[in-house]
A and B are shown apart, each in its own frame.
Chain A
Amino acid sequence: MTEKANLPPYRYKIFGLTVASEIALPVRSSIAGEAIGPVDVTMRVGEIPGRLENAPHQGACWSADSVRFLLDLPAIGRFLAADGCCVTIQPAPGVAIEDILIFATGTAMAAILYQRGAMLLHGSAVTHQGRTFIFCGPSGVGKSTLAAALCRSGCGFISDDVCAISHLADGTPIIEPDGRVLRLYPDSIGQVGMEDAVGSRVRQMLEKFHVTPPEHDTPKKEAPPLAAIYLLADSNPVDLPGIVRLAPLEAAQALLRQSYRRRIALAYAHQGQPAARTAALLSRVGVYRLSRPREFAQLDETVARLRTHWDQLA
């Protein structure tokens, strides 16, 4: 076991895990080192091989075996997640480490969680009157913008991009916050009126910024019970704006498809048991397709539609 004196100095609470990092991370839940008990995950800078030999799971720029996951992004950096507890980062030559931490807190941390048996959804989450709601969808579909608009309208903020599902002793599903703040483009920031909450850039070359949403209704500890999962989709001439509940089989397929970094989830399926976890989740929570126009001008209509739906769910 690592000696306490050798642990990296920065401490964070991410997905319910205590992370000790050599580098300051762009997350919101920095915590005091002495008060938080044992460290679950370490994050360090170091040398990483280009490929895992004989890895049974592979992609164009990644490989995974039973205990290690390696992401190799040319001209960006390499990221190794091992044994459910150690993240190593190696920036490509000339790349500033601060500029690639998003891949360590995103994909590499996801691999750590899957190695520990977690269930992750690619979604943002908010709370409202004692319930939690998740909005799933691929990058660019508008998850963060919708979460920001809901926070502006009085909801509490839980997660920006990843939701780790866990269950209380009685089976009630809850989510562990990803520890991040919102990440928004300038047009979204203007639309939701959060210019005063803008922080650093997500990466130096991207016009996308960290934004800290208002704290009202944001739970201090664990999030309240999960009440619904929405799959965000653009409305079109065939799929008109609206909210439709998915049938059980379609909902199960949709949740697997919305797994955060789905191929890592499949690589560690022996740990996470995604089919059984999905069935357990669906026995408690409905999955809905939320089709809405992408245009900012109609964002308030989508918020109003959701609030009406929440009243009906109650």
Chain B
Amino acid sequence: MAFAPPGLVWLASYPKSGNTWMRVLLSNLMTGRDEPADINRLSEEESLIGRWRFADDMLVDADQLSWQEVEMLRPLHYDYVADRLDKPVFCKTHDRFESQSGGPILGNQARAALYLLRDPRDVAVSLIHHLGRPTDQVVALMIDTAHLSGGGIYPPYLLGDWGGHVSGWTGQGVIPTKVVRYEDIRRDTVEVLRGIVCFLGITATAEEIRRAVAHSDLDELKQQEAAKGFRERQQGQTQFFRSGRVGEWRDVLNDAQIRTIEAEFAPVMTRWGYSQAG
């Protein structure tokens, strides 16, 4: 069975960049069962970054605090927890790296992070389905540097714009971070997972990696969602796990929407190998 060193690992990304898929991959790798992991047992409610855990550990409720106060207390929370972990914990987050005051919002005691990155034009397409909003609204959200997200099981947090999110995570030197492109996971999942296993110091055989990838196949996830539903599907969304097709934006976005995204994020897109159409 695969073995990971104890400590906290952030699975960080802008939304709709492959984070859930990575959680499924790691869940299948670490549990090592003969059958695929249940997509409805990814344990979100007690997530380290959720409201319940914040109140349980910090003894104040997030909704008694301004979001700036929450932002100030969060690194204290995560560092305290990370320092005392005696088992591996992988935690999904859509947080930016830096808080408004400039410090690392997630603290600095995590042992590592994976930062998942996806072509912002395909992120837009996925967000349209996820949020059920018009394309222009989604594009506006992605370029809004002050966009606040959260609600439900998560306290409010600063998501901001796509480019700033990517630059913050990929430019920091506080937490050892491996950047993983969604398109590369789609192209060669086994090879990418092998690189992640190596980076995180996980002990796993080639067969365990191959089986984890097979159990996390998009068709398998779609089949589970069709059969049992998926807790994380938004109201109004018909299906969480969709095609995952690379380059779908060419069929969905109009020229103006493509130009807006490319003009806003050109340097970051170029840095990560996303060529511009215009």
Residues of A with Cβ closer than 8 Å to B? Answer: 59-62, 71, 73-76, 102-103, 106-107, 138-140, 202-203, 205-206, 208, 234, 236-239, 261-264, 293-295
Contact = CB atoms under 8 A, between A and B. Distances in A.
B51 A293 contact: no
B57 A140 contact: no
24 contacts: A59-B57, A59-B59, A60-B57, A60-B58, A60-B76, A60-B81, A61-B58, A73-B73, A74-B76, A75-B72, A106-B64, A138-B51, A138-B153, A139-B61, A139-B62, A140-B62, A140-B63, A140-B151, A140-B152, A203-B64, A236-B232, A238-B230, A263-B56, A294-B152
B58 A59 contact: yes
A238 B229 contact: yes
A102 B66 CA distance: 13
A73 to B, nearest CB: 7
Contacts of A138: 51-52, 55, 61, 153
A107 B59 contact: yes
B51 A102 contact: no
B133 interface: no
A203 B155 CA distance: 17
Nearest to B46: A257
Interface in B216-244: 228-233, 235
A102 to B, nearest CB: 6
Contacts of A205: 66
Contacts of B61: 106, 138-140
A62 B60 CA distance: 11
Contacts of B76: 60-61, 74
B40 interface: yes
A139 B57 contact: no
Contacts of B62: 139-140
Contacts of B57: 59-60, 263
Nearest to B77: A60
Interface in B18-40: 40
B69 interface: yes
B3 interface: no
Contact of B51 (A139, A202, A237): A139
For the complex, would chain A's binding face be called helix, strand, loop or mixed by DSSP majority? loop
Contact of A263 (B59, B66, B152, B230): B59
The 7 closest A-B pairs by CB, nearest first: A237-B229, A139-B61, A60-B80, A138-B52, A205-B66, A238-B229, A139-B63
Interface residues of B, number: 33
A60 B155 CA distance: 18
Contacts of A239: 231
Given A60-B80, A138-B52, A264 B228 contact: no
Contacts of A237: 229-231, 233
A167 B237 CA distance: 47
A103 B152 contact: no
Given A61-B76, A238-B231, A102 B64 contact: yes
Contacts of A107: 59-60
B55 to A, nearest CB: 6
B64 A236 contact: no
A123 to B, nearest CB: 13
B59 A264 contact: yes
Nearest to A108: B59
B109 to A, nearest CB: 11
A140 B59 contact: no
A138 to B, nearest CB: 4
Interface string B96-135: 0000000000000000000000000000000000000000
A87 to B, nearest CB: 14
A31 to B, nearest CB: 25
A96 to B, nearest CB: 14
B60 to A, nearest CB: 6
Nearest to B79: A60
A238 B61 CA distance: 27
A13 to B, nearest CB: 23
B59 A62 contact: yes
A60 B55 CA distance: 12
A230 B80 CA distance: 32
B59 to A, nearest CB: 5
Contacts of A238: 40, 228-231
Interface string B5-18: 00000000000000
A239 to B, nearest CB: 7
Interface string B41-52: 000000000011
B185 to A, nearest CB: 25
A139 B232 CA distance: 20
Contacts of B80: 59-60
Contacts of B153: 138, 140
B231 A261 contact: no
A103 B60 contact: yes
